[in-house]
Chains A and B, each alone.
Chain A
Amino acid sequence: MPLLNLTLKVWRQENANSEGRIETYEAKEIPTSASFLEMIDIVNERLIKDGQEPIHFDHDCREGICGMCSMTINGIPHSKERGITTCQLHMRKFSDGETIWIEPFRANAFPVVKDLVIDRSAFDRVIGAGGYISVRTGSAPDAHAIPIPKKDADAAFDAAACIGCGACVAACKNASAMLFVSAKASHLNHLPQGQVEKDQRVLGMVRQMDEEGFGNCTNQFECEAVCPKEISADHIAKLNRDYLVASARDATS
């Protein structure tokens, strides 16, 4: 099996209040079949063996659905490969002797907890401000109980694919959360169940987004380019439209 010898430039930061710095590590004899996270696991095992502090990073499912593995690889969240999360990235995408820069997702709204681990609870507060529908809980309703046009169901599903990883914020030149917020709002705004609270949802989620200190969208679409679920910036246009309508209705009612 071919083995890679790599140089890693990794962001190390003690805690939220300390200054971080880039540290250099040699990652020797990394199998090309390893995933990117497995590569860091190998490096960490060696660090631990040498009595050093391992590189802290977030991970959970390791199959591209949880959105925990937040890291920027050579300046691009989840690496330059399209439509994947970091855990789905394989070392065969790199070549022997390469230098790889690994940094946390950078946004003031996502403070660094330690090394590559960031606090994304700002997203949870945005969801809490309107990313839900108020319905009787209980067993799931029959799928055909509410007829939904195929087009709307598909659009809602595309938006619902968002795993809330935060890559859109990390890639945005302004650390704007518009792709995340628009996907979450668009998911419910496309469906009949979401209509009752639509205006309240849009106004509430946008207000919370602004309060969290995310930047403003400048329509550069870096977000959609790095989104592991390839969510389209068309949802942002829909959020802008829905916000305009909601504000107008709010002002006149």
Chain B
Amino acid sequence: MSASSCSLCAFVKSSIGRKIIVALTGLALVLFLAGHLTGNLLIYAGPDAFNEYAHFLHTFLHGMGVWIARIGLLVCLILHVWFTILLTKENKAARPKYAHDATVQAPKSSRMMIWSGLTILAFIVYHLLHFTIRIDSNLAKMGETSPWHMVIEGFQNPLVVIFYVIAMTLLCSHLSHGVASIFQTLGLRSKKTAGPIKFISKAYAGIVYLGFISIPLAVLLFGFGCEACK
């Protein structure tokens, strides 16, 4: 084994190395969310704009673009989940319990990262079955002709909307700690940057939250696009 591959082994086995992998894959997923949200908000621009965008995604690079993105994101997601589960198990093993436990300043969001993360993972599976693989034949038919109408139809069920809102609430919590953690783990936090990093993290989580929940809520509560779907 060459020296460089050994160094890589040591890096992947080390606590900091693993955390850096979690931070970098997290960064890729965080940036994906920005793109995904921007695309989703086109729903408000009407069926033509949204469907054209969907068509563009599926035909970009002769249809290869969407698969490159999917495979890249899947790899990031698997690494992110795998290493966080590994780290969390080590963390639990390292610390015996206090009879009288207390917390000084760690926010709730930071203490439930594994649970918010696993809920988001479950949501991703559901979300892909719902709108990408389309296990509902009715939605699948609509998806072929007009993704815009498929989304409006997909959010007519209150239970679906409730699950989306719960998952996005946990995503917001996950991001509020996660985004700031990316900077800290990559060594970019200092006395000067600590304040702005905290702000960016909270603001990003808030924007992603409001942006994503606005769509199912607009459809279900305010009847957005409903005359068109009937």
A176–B105 Cα gap in the complex (Å)? 16
A209–B105 Cα gap in the complex (Å)? 24
Q: With contacts A76-B102, A173-B106 known, is A237 near B187, CB below 8 A?
A: yes
Closest A residue to B99 using CB positions? A22
Does A238 reach chain B (CB closer than 8 Å)?
Answer: yes
Does A174 reach chain B (CB closer than 8 Å)?
Answer: yes
B4 and A219 within 8 A (CB): no
- Give the residues in chain A near B110, CB-CB below 8 Å: 218-220
A237–B192 Cα gap in the complex (Å)? 13
B93 to chain A, nearest CB (A): 7
A217 and B15 within 8 A (CB): yes
What number of B residues sit within 8 Å (CB to CB) of A? 49
A237 and B184 within 8 A (CB): yes
Does A116 reach chain B (CB closer than 8 Å)?
Answer: no
B16 and A237 within 8 A (CB): no
Does B138 reach chain A (CB closer than 8 Å)?
Answer: no
A107 and B99 within 8 A (CB): no
Q: Which one of A74, A109, A242, A247 has the highest number of Cβ atoms from chain B below 10 Å of its Cβ?
A: A247
Contacting B at CB under 8 A, from A178-218, are 203, 206-207, 209-210, 213-218
Specify which of A74, A216, A240, A250 is in contact with B102 (CB 8 Å cutoff): A74
Contacting B at CB under 8 A, from A126-167, are none
Q: With contacts A206-B15, A216-B15 known, is A252 near B4, CB below 8 A?
A: yes
Binds B, one of A50-58, A61-69, A90-98, A221-229: A221-229
Q: Mark B182-202, 1 if CB is under 8 A from A, else 0.
A: 011111111100100000000
- Give the residues in chain A near B194, CB-CB below 8 Å: 234
Does A89 reach chain B (CB closer than 8 Å)?
Answer: no
A142–B26 Cα gap in the complex (Å)? 49
What number of A residues sit within 8 Å (CB to CB) of B? 53
A74–B98 Cα gap in the complex (Å)? 10
Does B214 reach chain A (CB closer than 8 Å)?
Answer: no
B14 and A210 within 8 A (CB): yes
Contacting A at CB under 8 A, from B162-216, are 177, 180-181, 183-191, 194
Does B45 reach chain A (CB closer than 8 Å)?
Answer: no
- Give the residues in chain B near A173, CB-CB below 8 Å: 91, 95, 103, 106, 111
Binds A, one of B17-25, B63-71, B127-135: B17-25
Does A115 reach chain B (CB closer than 8 Å)?
Answer: no
A72–B91 Cα gap in the complex (Å)? 19
- Give the residues in chain B near A203, CB-CB below 8 Å: 10
Does A171 reach chain B (CB closer than 8 Å)?
Answer: yes
Contact sample, A vs B, 16 pairs, CB 8 Å cutoff: A11-B99, A108-B96, A172-B95, A174-B94, A215-B95, A216-B18, A219-B177, A219-B180, A221-B106, A237-B183, A240-B20, A240-B186, A241-B186, A241-B188, A247-B17, A251-B3
Q: Which 8 A-B pairs have CB atoms at the shortest separation, nearest pair first?
A: A241-B187, A75-B102, A215-B94, A174-B91, A220-B106, A101-B100, A251-B7, A175-B95
Given contacts A75-B100, A75-B102, A215-B95, 10 further A-B contacts (CB under 8 A): A22-B99, A108-B96, A174-B90, A174-B92, A210-B13, A218-B113, A220-B110, A222-B104, A240-B184, A247-B17
